[in-house]
Structure 1
Amino acid sequence: MNLFTLLEQQAIAQPTVTAIIEGHNKRTSFATLVERSARGAAFLEQYGLKKGDAVLVFCPMSAELYIILGALWRLGLLALFIEPSATAKQFQQCCDLCKPKAMIAPSFAFTLLRRSPSLRRIPHKLTLDMPFPTANIWWTSRCWQPKSKIIDCEPEHPALLTFTSGSTGNPKAAVRSHGFLLKQYQILAKYLQPKPQQIELTHLPIFALVNLASGRTTIIPQGKLQKPAVIAPKPIIRQIQRKQPTSILASPAFLERLLDECQRKNIALPSVRQIFSGGAPIMPRLLRRLQQFMPAASIHILYGSTEAEPISILSHAQHQLSPTQKGLCVGQPIPDIQVKVLPLQNSASSYSSYWFKAICLAPNQVGEIVVAGDHVLNSYLQGAGDRHTKIQVGETIWHRTGDAGYFDENNQLLLVGRCDECRNAESSQLYPFVLETFLQQHPQVKRAAAIHYAGKNLIFIEPVTRKTRPAPQELQELLPQPHEIHFIRKMPVDRCHNGKILYRKLLTKTVALF
């Protein structure tokens, strides 16, 4: 097997159909994508790269990125995929763990060579744009004769290595094999239901792969995708108006930017029929705004992670939040995954089947959400991070999501925050997401964070604008009991989706207050 055969099948079935639209109107067809990847494979083969070798990729989301991935997978190579939001430390980690034989990156990334011995030791370096000393130029691969052969790979053969977001600690190296990615694609395709000839706008690279395998056209948004919370919305709104995508799949921070522009200019986007969002908590206010400016769209909340995607998918139309429910509802788990809730204080890395069943919590009891299934990652590279994130129960490996939540009586899963923060709030049951949901009902609150520190219940507020702050008394009225309220200019959030609040960084600011 080889993942690339899915894309090749689309090129045979619909060669002239556009696979990717980017920039002002640059279009790449399925046939061109496959043909360019075949040339790229022949180009890479000259450097002696062979099945199983690792290649470090640092490339913005673009058609070129998927051409590179296609070339690597044709040869059975492992793509070490570093997102544009990656840090220099992650570059170093990647090289130390995997010893890549080649590096493909924009010329500006080569400035890291001076500070990184690991990068300098990579034998072959290819630049995506401007020439650089000691590096060859990737685009010369267009001149090579295409390599038609696709290397056969075992299901467990590694295909892709990415890093977790690191929003709650050090990033961990997640290796996904050809078999794992195929299973993940099959499950995502089952629930997202991508169809040929449809058009979707997304800034999330893994979901563009799902589109390519399904024959659906992907629009890559214009702008700096590494910072979705501050991306310029005007060019993207123009893309939507001109290309008329029927679907958008994006993080909450990205959607908020589009909605801010729609509100300023009183713009509606009637072509959008489906919206999928995930990667960070999705507050009720965002759902209401989406209904206002994309009135024809059905809205779906995706809950998952790098290690398990998806865990659940909730249709907003099928769920109305009850006043008695506390937390963010993410729907019932999909049938393809097992989900349990364990006590927040559990820390064991293995249980017998009897004891695991005994400690699983009943409905309406808050604990840590753990998952298991064929599309759940069982281990990180070299086992780094497994001790604190995996639980062995007989032959089954359970993954700790790090999220705290509970099942209600209808088997709906509700999130109340990250486990580290919820352990501090367990006695009072004033969980972060519960309080933050209440506070974001206020129109002048952009983000809210709840922290319990030094015996005090603290609330941090990032206002919608710097000029206007909500009155503290108005915020107190939204809370079940009094809290100490502080205003901050900018909430610390994760680098990838710009939506998950970094409570640890916020805590360092909290310590400075006392």
Structure 2
Amino acid sequence: MKTIIALHGNPGSPADWNILRDKIGSQFQFKAVDAYSDGWKQEVTRGSDKKIIVAHSWGSYLILKNLKELKNHIEKVILVAPYVKPERTLSGLATTLLKMPGLGDTLIKSNHKKAKDAFVSDLIHPNTLKDLPYFQTLHNHFQDWTVWQKTVVNKIKMQDNPWREADITDVPLTVLYGELDKISSNEIQTAVLGKYPQAKMKTIPATGHGLLWSHPEKIISEISAEGATVSTSNQKIGYYPGSDERNNVINYMEKHLREFPDRVALRWANRESMAQWDGSPKTPIKHDEISYKNFAARINSFAQGLLDIGIQKGDRVIIFLPMSLDMYTAMFAVQRIGAIAVFLDSWARSHHLGASAECVGPKAMISFQQAFALVDQVPEFKSMPIRVLYGPGDKCTHRFPELLKPTASPIASVESEFTALITFTTGSTGKPKGANRTHRFLSAQHHALSHVIPYTEKDKDMPAFPIFSLNNLASGVTTILPAVDLAAPSERDSAILACQIINEGINCTTLSPSMLVGLARYCKENGIKLDKLRRVVTGGAPISKDDVKNFYEIAPQTDLWILYGSTEAEPMAHIEGRDMLKENPSADPEIIEEGVNVGHISEDIDYKFIRIKDGPVELKGSSWSQIEVPNGEVGEFICTGDHVCRDYYNNTDAFKTTKIMDGQNRVWHRTGDLAYIDSKKDLWIVGRTNNAIERGGKYYFPVRAEVLLKRMPFAYRCAFLGMDDKSLGQATYACVELKADIDKATFDFEAAKKEINRVFAKNKIPVDQIKFVKAVPMDPRHHSKVEYKVLRDQLKDPGAIIA
């Protein structure tokens, strides 16, 4: 016998379910619980059977806030006239007054007297009190002002802990709306509930918020309905056993081709459109577009062209193009035929190119004339037989347009762990490591990202990171490519991004921290509000509370998600900006926490914290207890999971230094990040293992110090690092690059140094040297991380220091 757990609304009581309970009969065990008490959760988790959850109005909010925690105990959820997102909120002043003893009760009694009858009328609309005996029972119940009091208390709790996208999880969900509902707005609530992957929306005609009582048979029909399927691993793309066509990630594109062929897949601005643009964010930039149907046809056509010139399953093909229609055409075409796409970042230097080619042994490269001229100087490319030229030039064996054939290629069967994509990751120096992204891994990463940042079919997204573009296209969302050169930031970038967001109807975007900061600054200076954005995602480098506050000033309605991740594992943790700002505010604004809170650790990974150690870590016969740090202490953050990259292509040395194999043959990734977990289970990043400063036998970390330096009104870029010192081991150096508009000839460097010393002393951070430098070198990938080794070398050159 299946068990039904029923949650009432607010106001409400378990008796609200009496009509439904009496009609449902004996085939179910029906439990109407007190939703005001946490005891209802115990009913859900009791026993091994999965429960059916039915929730009315505010009860829908309650179950969705707890769904991630309880989903393993739930078969399906049915929401009746859901009220998940508050539509009539209490102001901060009203909330404060209502919480005051005496005065709060007086205000509630006054409001109750005026509003109770009208509320009941709206609740049961279009019915009247005479239509059902229970309606009169409701009316009598609401005459008690303490019912109103309890309602207000729980409404305030709902406002203080609102539903967020992080609460979304994958459980079968049916939503029943009353067509004439006067309590809940179908449009407002659907905007929330439509984000759930398995949500089904049904509107019941000629009824309202009280359909729980007027139409119980509709609810019983949904309770009794069979066929709500839950995904299992072997039903996902990339998870089939053996060599199977369904493992190939191109099947995401095939799925979209079947379900919504005419939906726009990509929009982009070409070079001619950018040349004609006048630079004003109010002036639209002309964009071209392609539907999923035509995009799929272009991919399939190019894939046949690749087969015709001798590209076979397993061949490595370097794609050295900027984010564009044809970059994605080439990548998906390579994957369709079972070949391996190799991505080199547009900032890659010649020694990176050589090391990358040595690693993968490419059979072909698709790129511009300039790129082929560059690789001609790299010995490792001399044996590469196929060169596909994009654009004008003559250094090629084939030209891109020639490979667009009239026939479509077949989809290659691949094993789930067959390599689909290799992306190289490296710092400013050292041998590049090719992250081995298999077909299963790409599918797992898509699902992990969808848990955190799900899309609706109406979303338009602008991603600045290529990996998020892949997730967009796997999700079937319309993607607008940013019309900026990610490898060479310019002063026009913020204006371009603002223009695209405003004129392209973009409501979601993913930005690097430097782009986020620049966009906020530009919009604030020009009086621009980005009021159509519903979600912004950033990550890839630390971001401060000040940066978050500044962005909310130009887009106060948006959800700003800070994702913590890396090439090898994305995402690992996430936090919404408002939650970051609520974290332990100090009475003194000049004192900040140790590290940056990156929020809730992804439920798709397992994690540990280990002692700081250079070189490989091998468990062998030893246990984790010998290398783990006590809970709450700083250690290197390591993780394992379905979307954590297991190895590097053709690079066993990199595996030894960045991975740990445990006794169950699980591969753990060493992030290189020093972190700790707090009492709320939030993850705090304090620095990198290779940037930790050991001064006088104590460790210090750059993140906190750099946040303080960035607050200085004269600082453009800054860094905090250790330099070799005979007495201390390492001395701490604070380095500052001045803002461009500051006159160095008249600037008071001594006063600035005095201010830095004062603030650092208040935060108990020792600073041995303060240096004003010509430039703080940043990483060429995101322009958001300091290149500490380059800076150390610069500090040895007196010409790099201005004061």
Category of TM-score, reference length = shorter chain: over 0.9
Contact 2:355–2:431 (8 Å) recurs in 1: no
Is 1:212 aligned to 2:453, yes or no?
no
State yes or no: 1:502 paired with 2:787.
Answer: yes
- 2: CA distance, partners of 1:478 / 1:61: 43
* Partner of residue 417, structure 1: 687
User: Is the Cα–Cα contact under 8 Å of residues 283 and 440 in structure 1 kept in the other structure?
Assistant: no
Segments ≥4 residues shifted beyond 6 Å = none
**Could you tell me which residue of structure 2 aligns to residue 464 of structure 1?**
739
CA distance in 2, matches of 1:272, 1:336: 27
Distance 2:770 2:625 in 1: 41
Which residue of structure 2 lines up, in the alignment, with residue 475 of structure 1?
A: 756
Q: Which stretch shifts more, 390-399 or 417-426? A: 417-426
- Give the alignment partner of residue 104 of structure 1, picking from 344, 348, 366: 366
Q: Is the 8 A contact 1:268 1:293 kept in 2?
A: yes
For the residues of structure 2 that align with 1:357 and 1:398, how far apart are their CA atoms?
15
Distance across 2 between alignment mates of 1:410 and 1:208? 32
Contact 1:34–1:70 (Cα < 8 Å) also in 2: no
Give the counterpart letter for 2:778 in structure 1: V
CA offset at residue 427 of structure 1?
3.6
Q: TM-score, normalised by structure 1?
A: 0.95
Structure 2 runs not aligned, ≥5 long: 1-246, 270-285, 587-591
**TM-score where L is the length of structure 2:** 0.62
Aligned to 1:439: 709
The 10-residue stretch of structure 1 (41-50 or 361-370) with the greater mean CA deviation from structure 2: 361-370
Identify which range, 3-12 or 109-118, moves more after superposition: 109-118
In 2, the alpha carbon distance for the partners of 1:97 and 1:63 equals: 27
In structure 1, the partner of 2:570 is: 309
Contact 2:616 2:658 in 1 (8 A): no
Aligned: 1:63 with 2:325: yes
Aligned letter for 2:566? Answer: S
- The answer to whether the 8 A contact 1:224-1:231 is kept is no
Deviation at 1:160, TM superposition (A): 0.3
Is 1:150 aligned to residue 416 of structure 2? no
Alignment of 1:31-430 (within 5 A): 31-142=293-404, 144-167=405-428, 169-228=430-489, 232-319=493-580, 320-322=582-584, 323=586, 325-345=593-613, 347-352=615-620, 355-382=623-650, 383-394=652-663, 395-425=665-695, 427-430=697-700
**1:459 is paired with a residue of what secondary structure?**
strand
Structure 1, residues 7-29: CA drift from partner, whole Å, max 9, x if none?
12112211121111111301121
Given the alignment of the two structures, is residue 8 of structure 1 paired with residue 277 of structure 2, yes or no? Answer: no
- Give the letter aligned to residue 248 of structure 2: N
| 3-state SS in 1 of match to 2:462 | strand
Q: CA deviation at 1:231?
A: 6.0
CA contact (8 A) 2:509 2:536 kept: yes
Provide, for residues 339-361 of structure 1, a one-character-per-residue CA deviation record: whole Å limited to 9, x for no partner: 21111136442115753134312
Query: Is the contact between residue 611 and residue 636 of structure 2 (CA under 8 Å) also seen in structure 1?
Result: yes
Offset from partner CA, 1:60-85 (integer Å, 9 cap, x none): 00111111111111100100111211
**Aligned letter for 1:390?**
K
In 2, the alpha carbon distance for the partners of 1:229 and 1:276 equals: 21
Structure 2 CA distance for aligned equivalents of residues 52 and 241 of structure 1: 43
- For 2:449 and 2:696, the matched residues in 1 are separated by 34
Most deviating of 241-250 and 425-434: 425-434
Compute the RMSD of aligned alpha carbons: 2.0
Deviation at 1:118, TM superposition (A): 2.7
Instruction: Specify the SS of the correspondent of 1:224.
Output: coil
Distance (whole Å) between structure 1 residues aligned to residue 495 and residue 794 of structure 2:
34
Q: Which amino acid aligns with 2:308?
A: Q
Query: Structure 2 vs 1, CA of residues 249 and 92 (structure 1 numbering), >3 Å: closer, same or farther?
Result: same
Contact 2:694/2:700 (8 A) holds in 1:
no
| SS of structure 1 residue aligned to 2:414 | coil
Going from structure 1 to structure 2, the CA distance change for 1:364 and 1:113 (only over 3 Å counts) comes to closer
What is the one-letter code of the residue matched to 2:549? R
Alpha-carbon displacement from aligned partner over 1:288-314 (angstroms, at most 9, x marks no partner): 111111111111110010111111011
For residues 264-284 of structure 1, give each alpha carbon's deviation from its aligned partner in whole angstroms, at most 9, with x where no partner exists: 312111111111101111122
Secondary structure in 2 matching 1:372? strand
Question: Which structure: larger Rg?
Answer: 2
CA displacement at 1:317 relative to structure 2: 2.0
Matched-pair contact (CA < 8 Å) for 2:316–2:340: yes
Larger RCO: 1 or 2 (CA < 8 Å, sep 6+): 1
Relative to structure 1, is the Cα distance of residues 16 and 133 closer, same or farther in structure 2, using a 3 angstrom cutoff?
A: same
What code does the residue aligned with 2:289 have?
A: R
What is the DSSP-based 3-state SS (H/G/I as helix, E as strand, rest coil) of the residue aligned with 1:332?
strand
Q: What's the % identity of the aligned pairs?
A: 28
In structure 1, the gaps of 5 or more residues are: none
